[in-house]
Amino acid sequence: MKIHEYQAKEVLARYGVPIPRNAGVASKPKEVRDKVAQLGGKGVLKAQVHTGGRGKAGGIRIASSPEEGETLARQMLGMLLKTHQAPDGLKVEKLLIEEPISIKQEIYAGVVPDRVSKRNVLIVSARGGMDIEAVAAEEPEAVVRLPIDPLEGPHDFEIRQACYKAGLDPVLVNRLVSPLRGLLNAFVGVDASLAEINPLAVTEDGQVVAADAKIELDDSALFRHPDLAAFAEESEEDPLEAQAHRLGIAYVRLKGEVGIICNGAGLTMATMDAVQRAGGRPANFLDVGGGAQSERVKTCLGLVLSDPQVRGVLINIFGGITRCDEVAKGIVMAKNSLEVKVPLVVRLAGTRAEEGAAILAQEGITPAATMPEAAEKIVALTR
């Protein structure tokens, strides 16, 4: 689950990471005017949407007076902010109003899990304020990674060594230990899947503050953090993804035309690859889950068909806990009740696959013996 910058900064502040003084968020121009006045008459207005690159897209503006703050807010609130991460645009519904800071240097700091080393990794770079993926691709030596011992955590000297390797000024290094440790503690403390400060700013007067922040939370751990679960905002999500979340379905909407329903994340991704190789484009990722009953299959198919881009659906099931005859019943239920008007191709293998195939044959649904064959058939039918 993504949370907004102002919420991420609230979390970081709990763990001792310095943040710029702010007057909170506002959703009306008059509120922005009042909040800029609270900060002494000058303020930075920052659009609160789940995307990076806001500054280049006009999502960060500086007001030199309360009146200018109100004027800028009228321009920003309600605008569709388009960035490289959100080319379709996200509607700006609220603004964070912060005190301006004079930045001397920008540093990147982040924490992510590494599946190879099976450890959390602290990432530091002197190239802050930029897309870290681009920096890593163009100048890999500029990005330093510090795997974190899960029992002892990093010692201060290890954090300092990482900063030295990143080419940061030795005079500055000692001042970075505390905010970087706070970032690490926040990552673990809230069960995050990503915690990022970009930039971690060094001001002209030598202070170190989190000028921007991004935190993504592990959905599976939200039961431990009801205060953070309250941060969820469906308005920031794709409506179909939001609906899937409410239904407990693992679904991600993509930009293709072939709807995909499988059981198991691995099989789903392999099926997406097969569709791509056959010349098609997956419209979604959907893992129906293990042991799925017919009603759930019907619900999943209805969700996939709600996407107007979908011109055909490939259902690929490997029966283990999931019984293929139950899946077939769900497909038939959906076909009859939803008035499915796009082609369906179904590949069943494993537990009660023959019984499932017999059920589908009575309804005239296109079968396939293998995954590549299924991918080729559905791509041909959607052209």
Active site residues: 108, 196
Is the CB of residue 219 less than 8 Å from the CB of residue 194? no
Query: Dihedral of CA 133/55/41/33: which sign?
Result: negative
DSSP assigned state of 100: -
- Dihedral, CA of residue 95, residue 226, residue 197 and residue 110, to nearest 10: -150
Running DSSP on this structure, what letter comes out for residue 224?
G
Q: Is the peptide bond before 199 cis (omega within 30 degrees of 0)?
A: yes
Q: Could you list the beta-strand ranges (E) of the chain.
A: 22-26, 43-47, 60-63, 80-81, 90-91, 95-98, 103-114, 119-125, 143-147, 192-203, 208-210, 214-217, 250-253, 258-262, 284-287, 312-319, 344-350, 366-368
DSSP, residue by residue, 143-193: EEEEEPPTTT---HHHHHHHHHHTT--HHHHHHHHHHHHHHHHHHHHTTEE
| Structure tokens that stand for 10 in this block | 């609230």
Specify the DSSP element, H or E, that contains 4: none
CA distances from 264 to 243, 320, 322 (A): 20, 11, 10
- Whose tokens are 């590494």? That residue is 114
| Residue (of 260, 263, 272, 366) closest to 319 by Cα position | 263
**Residue 35: exposure state from Cβ atoms within 10 A (0-12, 13-18, ≥19):** buried
